[in-house]
Amino acid sequence: MKKYYLSLFLSAFALGLFGQGYYQIPAINAGTNPGNLNNDPEQPEGFLSGNNLGYTTVLTTSAADAWSTAQTVPFSFNFNGSAETTYYVSGSGVVTFASSAPATTPGFTPALLPAASIPPKSICAWGMDLSGANDAVVSKTFGTAPNRQHWIIWASASNATLGAGWTYWGIVMEETTDRIYIVDMRSYSQGGANVAMTAGIQIDGSTAINVSGSPALTSNNTATGGNQSDALDNTYYEFVYGTQPQYDLALITASISDIAGLTTAETFEATVQNKGSETITTFNYNYDDNQGGTGTTAITQTLGTGDFATITMNPGWTAPGAGSYTIDLDVSDPNNNSDANPADNGLTFNIQAAQDVPRTFLAEEFSSATCPPCKSWNDNVYNAALANYNQAGNPLVVKYQVPIPSPGDPSLNPDSEARRQWYGINSAPTMLANGQEIDYSAGTTWGDVAAIYTAAEVAGTNAPAFVSISGYATYDRGAGSSTADVTVHATVASNLDLSTGNYALQMVVLQDNYVYNTAPNGDFNYHHVMRKMLPNPNGTSLSLTAGASASFSESYTFDVGNVSGGATSGNYNLWNNDIEAVVFVEDRDNQVIMNAALAGVTWVGIDETEVVKAKVYPNPANDVLNIALEGEQELSVSIIDLTGKTVMTSDFGLTTGEEINTSDLVPGMYIVQIVADGKMAAQRIAITH
């Protein structure tokens, strides 16, 4: 469970000192928004208003440039040293602090500043228009006094040179510091073109500051194809009023796990920027856990004016015991000098420390019988994952059939669609590891995915867990019945305080295996397909204090048929008795899977024509377990412990019975699952030594 505050800053332009008291600090490919206050999705006005995110609509779609009505600055703000209380917005990307709406508009064609069409006291992300159906300008204030930011956002605007695409830019006013930011947020180019804009500040008709590249300034994020609807591909340009100091080192942001184990050192990876005029070669990186633990790491790194660097604490901080900690981080002593602006030197984070437990990975795949690439993905990755890993119970796999492309296949149901929408998945195939999406191409193999697990490139997959979970399920189908009752039981024990936050237990019933002979993409064999999330896709809310545990159970009555029998979208059908159950705990705020387990299934009351007839003895067993069949059959046997982990599995081929060595099994209760000639049976046994 991690919070991400930073993607790596890739580069930066040099700073420069400009006239009339402002200097500029570009943050190219910053991967974050200034101050990390705005973490809202970058979406059109209709989405923002429909989700009640607190935006005010300033301007809507229009073929002509126009000024808005007067808008109120929600806090004290000085532009070029003068207090301003209201502003006007043009559809072309200009904010002005004029005393009344200007008589003329800037138009859609940008020019170098100062420009005659731009009013005095203006901030420009100039060159957009609102001619598209979804185009609008919205505003919102983020943060709390005295450190708020007021954002004006051109949401899904158009641009003459962009072609059939759209772009998002923001102009930001910051409380107390009076800083101004112009944010390059999100752009989509259908044909490879880019925007051509002017970014900067116009003081009056003779004095202005231009961002380098204006009036043909391009967006830095078109490479992401418009798909990055958060700050991870953002660039911003910062304008500071005053004289640039020699030494101004800022701690911009950090990537800090909000949970820590008791044995692993936390290195507090962070990013710093040199905002001063002098090159910095040495500085200190410090922490204080506010419970007596402090540390300092001397950093030797050459940072020119405007440069960024990633730093870590060495040897780091290890929690002295379980509990909550407030960690203060700061940077100091650039070149052994005092920092001119200590206000931006520090960040504070809260961390829970707890005893860790082993983690079981959960791989979730979104697939469809109507998706041509899904077959190759399943052949190369998904099925290989089952063969190489699932027999050992790690990772567990849940497959959601989705309507991509429409209409999807017979296993599509409302729960799979709800899960897709919750993650924001809009393409198939897509796989997530512990809630974090895995990047792949058509040539990706399971070896590539396994390397991601091993290298812990996916957030949390190699991190320890702090929540334990176990479960079991029963499948009850009476003789001749067309329905089956499935009940899933789960027990959750937490070493963390889950009494605040948004945590949920998910209990999922899966179709372990079936064949769909008319799949349009030729992918006929299906494994571990989600048939129902109990009680619903939101799961069961968890609110456990550290050291507490709780047990839960949920049931559902399924129709049981076969895939060729005409099952329709929306039904929670089972095609046969071959089912399994997976239980997992997730942080629904961060979409991270905290831990997972296979819930072993006990079959009861199944029609005798569908169950293998076998004798399992002795029970309890010591070092040997015997299985006897009625006649020669293809036999497979799995032994599953009560946490859901498969501890032994064997394929014996044609046989009338087998003797299984159980001497290595830990004494306790197990489920023996027998599959013979396509029929199955399960029985609980005890192992004693």
Query: What homologous superfamily is domain 362-604 in, according to CATH?
Result: Immunoglobulins (2.60.40.10)
The mean pLDDT value of the chain amounts to 85
Question: Quick count: other Cβ atoms within 10 Å of Cβ 269?
Answer: 16
238-255 average pLDDT score: 92
Res. 94 pLDDT band, cuts 50 70 90 = very high
User: Radius of gyration over alpha carbons of the chain, in Å?
Assistant: 30
225-239 average pLDDT score: 87
Output 669 or 185, whichever has higher pLDDT. Answer: 185
Of 3-7, 620-624, 661-665, minimum mean pLDDT range: 3-7
Model confidence at 608: pLDDT above 60: no
User: Residues 335, 247: contact at Cβ < 8 Å?
Assistant: yes
Model confidence at 607: pLDDT above 80: no
Res. 415 pLDDT band, cuts 50 70 90 = very high
CATH code for the domain defined by 251-353: 2.60.40.10
556-573 average pLDDT score: 65
| Spatial CA neighbour of 397 closest among 357, 441, 367, 373 | 367
Of 158-162, 251-255, 680-684, minimum mean pLDDT range: 680-684
The confidence score (pLDDT) of residue 201 equals 98
Residue labelled with tokens 């029963």: 474
Alpha helices (H) along 342-426: 372-377, 383-388, 414-423
User: What is the DSSP code (8-state) at residue 321?
Assistant: S
Model confidence at 390: pLDDT above 70: no
Residue 63 CA to residue 420 CA, distance in Å, equals 36
Res. 606 pLDDT band, cuts 50 70 90 = low
The confidence score (pLDDT) of residue 221 equals 86
The confidence score (pLDDT) of residue 332 equals 98
Catalogue the E-assigned strands of 456-560. 467-476, 483-494, 503-515, 525-534, 540-542, 549-560
The confidence score (pLDDT) of residue 479 equals 64
For residue 327, the Cα-to-chain-centroid distance in whole angstroms is 24
Q: What is the pLDDT of residues 73-82, one digit of tens each?
A: 999 999 999 9
Q: What is the pLDDT of residues 619-630, one digit of tens each?
A: 778 889 999 888
Model confidence at 424: pLDDT above 80: yes
The confidence score (pLDDT) of residue 4 equals 28
The confidence score (pLDDT) of residue 236 equals 94
Model confidence at 8: pLDDT above 50: no
Domain map (residue ranges) of the chain: 2-241, 251-353, 362-604, 612-687
Model confidence at 210: pLDDT above 80: yes
Q: Which residues contact 62 (CB under 8 A, 6 or more apart)?
A: 91, 130, 131
109-124 average pLDDT score: 97
The confidence score (pLDDT) of residue 456 equals 40
The confidence score (pLDDT) of residue 634 equals 87
Percent of the chain with pLDDT over 70: 87
Does this chain's domain 251-353 share its CATH topology with 362-604?
A: yes
The confidence score (pLDDT) of residue 3 equals 30
The confidence score (pLDDT) of residue 613 equals 73
Q: Which residues contact 345 (CB under 8 A, 6 or more apart)?
A: 249, 250, 251, 330, 331, 332, 339
Residue labelled with tokens 């231009």: 210
The confidence score (pLDDT) of residue 457 equals 36
CATH 3.30.1540.10 fits 612-687, yes or no: no
Residue 143 CA to residue 600 CA, distance in Å, equals 48
Model confidence at 18: pLDDT above 50: no
Residue labelled with tokens 């979804």: 134
If you average pLDDT over each of 6-20, 40-54, 452-466, which comes out highest? 40-54
The phi, psi pair for 129, rounded to 5°, reads: -145, 170
The confidence score (pLDDT) of residue 406 equals 83
If you average pLDDT over each of 258-267, 313-322, 595-604, which comes out highest? 313-322
Among left, alpha and beta (phi > 0; psi -120 to 50; other), residue 384 is alpha
If you average pLDDT over each of 16-20, 441-445, 644-648, which comes out highest? 644-648
Residue 48 CA to residue 138 CA, distance in Å, equals 9
